[in-house]
Amino acid sequence: MAVHSGDREHWAKIAFIAGLAERHWGNYALYCDTIDAAANAQQWRKILNKVWEYLAGQLNSMKNLEKALLQLDSLTPEPQEDDSYGVYPALDACLLLTSALQMILDDSIDDTATAANLSKATVANFIALSQDIDAFDPEQAQHDLYDAELQWHQHLLQQLHSGGSKSDLVRDLRRDISDFDSSNLGIALEA
């Protein structure tokens, strides 16, 4: 059963996850490009846009969001069916977007910590792969991509707790996101 939450704290948690998903957009788009599935990337983008519309107070139909959650399931890649590395960041992007939608539809769900850890793990795993090491440990080493990921988390939290109307916060966050020219893995985004 869909629950429409007016709770500001819950709203901010959804917006935080949407902000993380936004930084993963390029990872999903590149994966779709490599498997010749541009339509999937366009649909994923439309679903994330619906989340932003909901957060800005422009979309109130839970039916649209329930339908989007079902559509997202068909867009989520299966690592067992693909042996390329790109399937993993693409899967992570879908998991983040799924979390945002589920939290909209059920205000008893709180995936914030899981989403934050997933997003950081996506970057850490990419660094390990690119440096040909077993694992990247941010406690033992620094990396620009990981530092940027942490800074993005901090920026999101600061923005979401700065006050202002929900629509203004969404507008400001989307503007901030547009300042990035790459995903959280450094994948260049199309203009």
Least confident span in 10-24, 45-59, 110-124, 154-168: 154-168
Amino acid 141: pLDDT: 84
Is residue 3 predicted with pLDDT exceeding 70? no
Predicted confidence (pLDDT) per residue in 77-136, tens digit: 999 888 899 999 999 999 999 999 999 999 999 999 999 999 999 999 999 999 998 888
Domain boundaries 8-178, corresponding CATH code:
1.20.1590.10
Confidence band of 17 (pLDDT split at 50, 70, 90): very high
Distance CA 163, CA 176 (A): 16
Domain ranges of the chain: 8-178
Predicted confidence (pLDDT) per residue in 41-68, tens digit: 999 999 999 999 999 999 888 999 999 9
Distance CA 31, CA 6 (A): 35
Amino acid 187: pLDDT: 84
pTM of the model: 0.91
Amino acid 117: pLDDT: 96
Least confident span in 1-10, 27-36, 101-110: 1-10
Amino acid 1: pLDDT: 29
Higher pLDDT, 138 or 110: 110
44 and 93 Cβ atoms separated by less than 8 Å: yes
Amino acid 54: pLDDT: 95
Amino acid 190: pLDDT: 62
- Our measurement of the distance from residue 142's CA atom to the centroid of its chain's CA atoms, rounded to an integer in Å, reads 23
Distance CA 77, CA 143 (A): 28
Amino acid 189: pLDDT: 62
Average pLDDT over residues 37-42: 96
Alpha carbons within 13 A on the beta-carbon side of 170: 19
Average pLDDT of the chain is 90
DSSP annotation of 188: B
Is residue 18 predicted with pLDDT exceeding 60? yes
